[in-house]
Amino acid sequence: METDSAENLKHRDLNWLSFNARVLQEAQDKEHNPLYERMKFLAIYSSNLDEYFRVRVSQLRQMKRVEKSIRKKLALRPNKTVKEILAIVKEQQEEFGRIYNEEIIPELAENNIVLVPSEKYTNIQAQLANIWFIAHIKNDLETIIIDPSKDKEIFLENQVLYFCVTFTNSKKLGFVKIPTDTNERFVDLGKVKETHNITFLDDIIRYEINNIFNSETIEGVYEIKLSRDAELYIDDELDGILAERIYKSLEQRQEGQPTRLLYDASMPKPAAKRLRKLLNLGKIDMMPGGRYHNFNDFFKFPDPTENAALHYDKKPFIKHRELEKSTNFFKTIQKKDQLVHFPFMSFNYVEQFVEQAADDAAVTHIKISLYRVADESVLTTSLLKAIENGKQVTIFIEAKARFDEENNISWGRKFEKKGACVIYSYPRIKVHSKILMVIREEEEKSRRYAYIGTGNFNGETSKIYCDHGLFTAHKKITKELERVFKVLEGELIIPRNKHLLISPFTTRRTFEKLIHNEIEAAQAGKKAQIIAKMNSLEDPDMIQLLYKASQAGVKIRMIVRGFTSLIPGVKGLSENIYMTSIVDRYLEHGRIYLFYNNGDEQMYMGSADWMTRNLDRRIEVLTPIYDQDLFSELEDILEIQLSDNTKARILDEAETNAYISREQNEKAIRSQYAIYDYLKSKN
């Protein structure tokens, strides 16, 4: 594993692969994950890897263009890193294929579901495939034959499946676009006795390939997929990011630099070479794979048996003890702070808050930051209704939220058209905070109500992301949050704050001060402890400070879901840092930070990880937890996660991803399920 020995840091892009390996582990876990859920983990792994190549690997490729002397000065070694990435990915892809072919496919068959390849079609299945082909595919099929001696290149769309077809006694190559955008990927071929037969859309086209290229003699048919650079080609350093410029540049993603060609490993080398040259790729860009690609389509794999045992048990939403019975959220929140936890509770509580604000005659303002806007929902409908009802609605929309730019900007235009004040991105900075404020006239005074969360305002992702959200009317917190919105509105440059942590203004400085306090306590022989849960840990300065704290004797317990550049458990460096990662049914997404602080514990919750971008280049908001009941609730949740001995892996120097082992007769704790039970008992 590549590290920077001078800084004792892991390479973030290499360590990210260790995280995706944990996702792959879930696809293997028959004891805790039913069949269809393991298939979804294969889909998640595949989807993660696609984005990784489009974003991170493409960035490494661009580094290769930097002048060698500059790369050397900056200690950039993109070639070495990319080669190491490809070696690790190749090994993981082989394990992926083994799980799919040796575990998933046989287990599907045991449950009377058979994926039938084209070469095993019965006469009836072949007829059904032909009928489907004629009815749904034939008239819209895009095909082309390329002669490499005349045509020097071919353009393949980003992330789209194609067949590359070779012909007998010819160096020509045929290409067929597999139309998964207009057709379901999986086609039902009917039930025979108790067996349900399903085939890939790809196989139906493969079966008809001789009729598609009837003027040539087919030699081989190989599935391929090209990934292109996902970055937008906009110079945002000059005059600010305008939504219009981003919107117009989205099409460039389809034309961006190729970063990986995934191809069927059975393709003969001469054909692969001709294909590589047509696409102007280097050898390093070629990634051999299996017969099928785009496994993220397995999110929608049909279950014709409707067998509940093949899926996770459904867990009904827990009803919040206060908000569920409340007919007036403002009175409830004014009386006491309220905390919600997703996906264990319904996102409807946030939607109801906005809905009540939209209808409440006393409400004058609604302000919200939207990082990833959901499709039409109660929340978006309520915001539109608030505008119609004469409220002053201010919506900050992050136009640079990768892969959501088009949807975000589209919604921004809808809100603008209705009369909202819509503010888009700023140059060199993203707004990643999850914040909402409602201002209400009460007894001739304005009272502020706020929601500060760890996750996006998105009802769909709230069903699969583990997040927390705080409703509060705390005067000092809401006053400072109003200043954050004034920064977004351009009325303030720097918000004064003593309570909230606000990036890029005070978050880093406050965290550093809190860690230094623990160091001083440890050096004085007092108890010193830090518990931190986040998605990713990358900032070099924070890591060096954590190393310093470890060496001073501070006990540091961390839960990091994704990648980490910190190397835990190294004697003399980080032996007091113990780090685990939880990958399970839901995506761990909450950020919680707890400092012992000489017995006067301080806890913060919000949107920021300990990454340089979250500390210095994004608008982030973390809130202190002042309500003692809610403090204890989050502390209990943290403790459950720290005790996980079922889905927690130890993050160590060797990156073994070993599950935490249980002592004989020790109670099994699967934290996501234990938290559900805990919240159910409290509510």
Residues annotated in the binding site for Mg(2+), as ranges? 372, 402
Q: Which of 320, 341, 365, 432 is catalytic?
A: 432
> Closest by alpha carbon to 528, among 537, 536, 520, 540?
520
Collapsing DSSP to helix, strand or coil, 400 comes out as coil
Alpha helices (H) along 135-214: 201-207, 209-212
For residue 392, the surrounding DSSP H or E stretch is strand 392-397
What is the C-alpha to C-alpha distance for residues 425 and 443, in angstroms, rounded to an integer?
A: 36
Q: What would the two tokens of residue 179 be? A: 């139309």
3-state secondary structure of 390: coil
Beta pairing partners, 529: 555
624 neighbors 604 (Cβ within 8 angstroms)? yes
* Annotated binding-site residue numbers for ATP: 48, 465, 561, 589
Residue pair 147/272 in contact by the 8 Å Cβ criterion: no
Separation CA 160–CA 49 (nearest Å): 15
If you write DSSP's letter for every residue of 555-590 in order, what string do you get?
EEEEEESS-B-B-TT-TTTTTTEEEEEE-SSSEE--
**Cα 310 to Cα 247: distance, rounded to the nearest angstrom:** 42
Q: Amino acid letter at 374? A: A
β-bridge mates for residue 161, sequence order: 225
Region of residue 441 (phi > 0: left; psi between -120 and 50: alpha; otherwise: beta): beta
Q: How many CA atoms lie within 13 A of 565 on its CB side?
A: 22
DSSP assigned state of 226: E
432 is an active site residue: yes
* Tokens standing for residue 81: 């890193």
Beta bridge partners of 367: 394, 437
Q: Would you name the residues annotated as active-site residues?
A: 432
